[in-house]
Structure 1
Amino acid sequence: MHRTLPFLLLALVPALGFAQSPSPPAASDAARALAQDAVIVDTHIDAPGMLTDRWMDLGVDAPGREFDYPKSRAGGLDVAFMSIYTSAKQDDDGTAWQAANEMIDSVEALAQRHPDRFALLRSPGDVDRLRAGNRVLLPLGMENGAPLGDDLANLQFFFDRGVRYITLAHSAANRIADSSYAAERRWNGLSPFGREVVAEMNRLGIMVDVSHVSDEAAREAIALSTVPVIASHSAFRHFTPGFERNISDELAKSIADRGGVVQIPFGTAFVDPQGAADTQAHFRAINEFHRKNAELRAAGKPAQDRAAFDAAWAEAHPAPSTPIDAVLDQIDYAVQLIGIDHVGIGSDFDGVGGELVDGLRTVADFPNLIDGLQARGYQEADIRKILGGNLLRVWAAIEAGAR
């Protein structure tokens, strides 16, 4: 399951007492009305990994989860991209394919269990028809191309299963691309296979997602793609200097120049400078942990305990308390830099261990985001673009490019 601190057990979060600030005042009636009327698209929700870890019926109230049907309807969420996340470890041990298919199965089971509440979504052209009757629509985004292995035909396989974007890499280099988190660069951009993957994604109509990858890999993917690309959940590096996981101004402009969209996340690790610094340090620390354990095993010595490492790290690095203004500032900056037509939202709900900005803690809280945008002077038409109109336009262009 994807997390900002991806190896930290979610169960540790409440026990360690991460800082919680009071939520902002309730959203206005106007904000709530717009949330219900607009098409809200969130390009990154990590519910599938949680479903395979421990099944919970998300068609009813699911305590402790940030996404479920009642919360979605309360917040006005219409299109929730389910993240099919696999880790670098699963890539290394050959289990990524199995894990990805199990997560897709779990999303299909959820829709089959509640056909009146959920529907699978495979094309932006089906949004209006399928969301009739207050359904929440569930397209799939694959976070980390590891399940593809080294077989280009697997793109067709996962397209047929409903995957409509692929984040090329995640926390480490894979067969496709380098990761922003890894100090070493295996490919210095995309691999030769990765270039083929981008071309085949264009042919099929799968969105190329450059969140998580290195600057060199993102730059190459944007240049090679014949259709717009997306950053499914990337904040702006302007606010977190040195944090390559967030997108640079240069790359954001390149995405916009080619018609794409940058989707802003809500996790403190992305929008808070201290959170970003801790996240970068954690990935380096965990890589060093794995290196040392490999040396210990090679020497016939017992390995260090992973759970103890995770607990100690979390206790030493509590998530900063961050106001909703941090997300609103990101949106303001993005609009000024790349234009209102190239900005959207990719929350990372259920993927960051509860480490979210105040006022945006579940999918029920989208009215708070709208309220904040209204307070900053955004007009309704532009708010609708940010909430989902831009992403749907880009998705339609990528689908048309495949045809």
Structure 2
Amino acid sequence: MDALSLHKEATVVDTHNDLILLVDHHDRRGDRRHFADYWLPQLRAGGVDVQVLPICLEEQFQSEGALRRTLLLIERMHELAGEHADEVAICLTGADVDAAVAAGKIALIIALEGAHAIGQDPTLIRTMERTGVRVVSLAHYGRTFLADGSGFDDSSNSALTPQGVEVLQEMERLGVVFDISHLGRAGVDAVLNVISRPFLATHSACLHLTEIHRNLADAQLRAIAEKGGVVSVAAAIPMFIDPADPSAERVVDHIEHMAGVAGIDHVGLGPDFIEDYFMQAFGGWQRVPGFAGTFAPAEIERPADLPKITEVMLRRGFSTEDVNKVLGDNVLRVLREVMGVPA
């Protein structure tokens, strides 16, 4: 089977696309057709069947404005699902995902990146779950009331706060999938010591190949696999893949390394498509803490580029079964087991 046919037949799961930020950017400028005119064609061109939609808050919203901003973006996602009910569906369980995909729709999953909206009130994770949130990380680059992000590794290197542990435990009880991406070293270790259900790193890469705090060390990759988790490769972020050569080939280098260390059953895709937002909202990439160098453009720049990864994997000898695992089957296993399934 050729690469394009395999990609089209596979169930492709993207665990991290910040498209709601660009949708909101266009909304504020009177263009409420952006999702239909740009993102739906891109997702279809990339063969994306399941799209996790994280809410990443800009710095000006990360304190007192976090809850309001988060709820507004969640509401916008529900509006989009209503406006395009023939194309997409917000999913609350793995069974919902399977039903949406079977109906030819793109399954949308609401996520929080950083969980700033929870503040220091762990009970708000229940509120987030009621609004449809099904994937949550506890920190972005910096500090929340729940945990420290990897951008603080050189200064604080702190683990989860008591509130963070409480949120993690409540997520496990409710069936909200934990996302370990962005957590600092000590936070990752703390989660691995207490978590009992499979989880995701929605957009990470290999520290062995690219040395930046956001990437995961081999010991962490193995520990995540032992818990049944999946690490999705942040294929669209040059600083994580290879600043000098963020190509599809280098993306597959990360996939191969993860498979060799953790096993092929624990690798997925979470490209982190955010460049378009940065370019349109800020005129260029925003600074990544801990990275001060230059970088080349990513080859996997938008969803329509995803078949290039399948092409490289096939060329390197990945079996059809293993390609399907990386493209989506591994993440689907976690979603079916955990998402919306109370412990």
Task: Provide the TM-score with structure 1 as the length reference.
Answer: 0.75
Separation in 2 of the partners of 1:336 and 1:44?
23
**Gaps in structure 2 of 5+ consecutive residues:** 280-284, 286-295
Closer, same or farther: CA 127–236 of 1 in aligned 2, 3 Å: same
Match of 1:47 in 2: 19
Task: Provide the TM-score with structure 2 as the length reference.
Answer: 0.88
The higher radius of gyration belongs to 1
Match of 2:56 in 1: 85
Pairing 1:373-388 to 2, within 5 Å after superposition = 373-388=313-328
1:145 shift after superposition = 1.5
Q: Which range moved further: 118-127 or 383-392?
A: 118-127
* From 188, 191, 198, the counterpart of 2:158: 188
**Gaps in structure 1 of 5+ consecutive residues:** 1-28, 63-67, 276-319
Separation in 1 of the partners of 2:172 and 2:338?
7
Q: Which amino acid aligns with 1:226?
A: S
Closer, same or farther: CA 231–351 of 1 in aligned 2, 3 Å: farther
1:240 shift after superposition = 2.0
Match of 2:47 in 1: 76
* From 37, 49, 55, the counterpart of 1:61: 37
Match of 2:228 in 1: 259
1:210 and 2:186 aligned = no
Deviations 1:189-235 (A, max 9, x none): 11111111111110111111111111100110121111122211001
Pairing 1:97-116 to 2, within 5 Å after superposition = 97-116=67-86
Q: Which amino acid aligns with 2:57?
A: T
Pairing 1:82-161 to 2, within 5 Å after superposition = 82-92=53-63, 94-161=64-131
Separation in 2 of the partners of 1:135 and 1:80?
11
Q: Which amino acid aligns with 1:200?
A: E
Does the CA contact (< 8 Å) of 2:94 and 2:337 recur in 1? no
Q: Which has the higher contact order (CA 8 A, sep 6+)?
A: 1
Seq. identity, %: 30
Aligned residues: 322
Does the CA contact (< 8 Å) of 1:117 and 1:136 recur in 2? yes
Separation in 2 of the partners of 1:363 and 1:186?
36
1:351 shift after superposition = 5.0
* From 249, 256, 265, the counterpart of 1:325: 249
Match of 2:311 in 1: 371
Deviations 1:69-116 (A, max 9, x none): 112112211001111112454223x11111111111121111111111
1:167 shift after superposition = 1.2
Closer, same or farther: CA 384–263 of 1 in aligned 2, 3 Å: same
Closer, same or farther: CA 194–117 of 1 in aligned 2, 3 Å: same
Does the CA contact (< 8 Å) of 2:88 and 2:107 recur in 1? yes
Separation in 2 of the partners of 1:400 and 1:179?
26
Q: Which amino acid aligns with 1:394?
A: V
Secondary structure, aligned partner of 2:2: helix
Separation in 1 of the partners of 2:9 and 2:252?
21
Closer, same or farther: CA 228–386 of 1 in aligned 2, 3 Å: same
Closer, same or farther: CA 351–140 of 1 in aligned 2, 3 Å: farther
Match of 1:303 in 2: none
Separation in 1 of the partners of 2:97 and 2:10?
12
1:268 and 2:268 aligned = no
Q: Which amino acid aligns with 2:318?
A: Y
Pairing 1:160-239 to 2, within 5 Å after superposition = 160-182=130-152, 185=155, 188-239=158-209
1:376 shift after superposition = 0.6
1:334 and 2:334 aligned = no
Separation in 2 of the partners of 1:30 and 1:73?
19
Q: Which amino acid aligns with 2:143?
A: A
Closer, same or farther: CA 105–401 of 1 in aligned 2, 3 Å: closer
Separation in 2 of the partners of 1:357 and 1:43?
21
Does the CA contact (< 8 Å) of 1:189 and 1:220 recur in 2? yes
Deviations 1:304-355 (A, max 9, x none): xxxxxxxxxxxxxxxx553211101000100001000000000101357477
Closer, same or farther: CA 368–125 of 1 in aligned 2, 3 Å: same
Deviations 1:371-393 (A, max 9, x none): 11100101111111101111111
Q: CA RMSD in A?
A: 2.0
Separation in 1 of the partners of 2:308 and 2:266?
21
Q: Which amino acid aligns with 1:166?
A: V
